[in-house]
Amino acid sequence: MGQDFSVLKNSLYFINSGYLNALMLNKTIKVIFRITQLVTVMCIHGLIQDCCAAVRIKDLASLSGARDNQLVGYGLVSGLNNQGDRNQVYTLQSLSNMLRKYNLTLPPGNIQSKNVAAVMVSAIIPPFAKPGTKLDVTVSSIGDAKSLQGGVLLQTPLYAADGNVYAVAQGQLTIGGFSSGEGNASLVKNHPTVGKVSNGAIVEEATPTQIELNGMMQLLFRQPDFTTISRAAVAINERFSNNPFPVAEALNSSTINLRIPSEFWSNHVGFIEVIESLSITPDNKASVIVNERTGTIVATSSVQISACAISHGNLTISVATTPNVSQPNPLAPASAQTVVTQGTQVNIEEKASRLIPTPDLPTVEEVAQYLNSLGVTPRDMISIFQAMKEAGALHAEIVVQ
């Protein structure tokens, strides 16, 4: 009996010990969880603060003259396994013209082929691209081809806006999708009538590029802003403070004139490297960009809201149409027929709303936290922002896409 009592006592001891350990473990987990939440909040706060950190001029501007150029051409894609154009006039004429180059004279009316598709070929040639440089090209069908899967782009000259040929494209297409089946029993994935040819174009002639004229260069900023331009000019002149004349001169909200120092007259690349590596803090105007189609809202860090009151209610209107069948009575005349009528039912539901006072919100973080606390959807936020703007409480520009 004493032995049994000892075993029971030890069992209770282990059970109590386990319970206490579980409590201690639970408290430890809670502490770790709270520390993790604190670290997460600190990290998010750090990210918000870093959004206004210094940015390289290289990421804000580009040199005048160092620009991309668009190329486009018309060509044929072959080998489409009965998925090509259905005897389009321009496709057959193009095929006839191509065969004529190989001493094969065939009238377009005598050609029957569904393995060929007429396409437009486009590419972007970067500045300073030399003959032999390879470019990616995009191929898109302009006819009624079902798919470009497995096709091969035949040699296609690519023209610039000046009408000159700067590259020639050719190669195997990749479309990242497929099309299979006919009619209602068909399956389509992605967009099978547009494809790419990686390194499919070869540059034949370099595009004319000039970035320096009489010892001067120009910086073109992608987002025009007088404050950002002024800061960039000051940073550049401070970097070359030993120069006898100012290197940078701000012309307007998007352009800075650069006077090349004498030490870089024979090293333009080194001068550009120094300019691009300088960092400034760009200034952006307060704006709220909204896309009502997708419900996307993007606000800059300068958005502020003055004190106001918000009341936003949801109005839901549902219309249901139900077919009703009217049968003739048993004693109805022989000419009586069964008639189907449409019954329409309209339901209107409006949720109650409250007038909620809004305090001054000087930062975008506070604006986001307050609107999220109201529990409104992104589409509701768009309407609220527009109403605030009309009331003069939203100090930002609204850009609707």
Least confident residue range of 78-92, 128-142, 320-334, 336-350? 336-350
Predicted confidence (pLDDT) at residue 25 exceeds the cutoff of 60: no
Question: Taking the alpha carbons of 224, 282, 235, 58 in that order, is the dihedral positive or negative?
Answer: negative
- For the chain, the structural domain boundaries read 8-50, 69-180+189-203, 216-280, 287-322+341-400
Give the model confidence (pLDDT) of 149-161 as tens digits: 889 999 999 999 9
Confidence at residue 162, expressed as pLDDT on a 0 to 100 scale: 92
Q: Please state, in angstroms and rounded to a whole number, the distance separating the CA atoms of residues 26 and 363.
A: 38
Q: Does the pLDDT at position 176 exceed 80?
A: no
Backbone φ, ψ for residue 248 (5° rounding): -110, 135
Share of the chain above pLDDT 70, in %: 74
Q: Specify the pTM.
A: 0.64
The identity of residue 110, as a single letter, is N
pLDDT at 305: 79
pLDDT for residue 109 is more than 60: yes
Helix (H, G, I), strand (E, B) or coil at 278: coil
> Hunting for tokens 């004498």 — which residue is that?
262
Residue 285 corresponds to which tokens in the numbers above?
């105007």
Question: Of 399 and 38, which is predicted with more confidence?
Answer: 399
Average pLDDT taken over every residue of the chain = 78
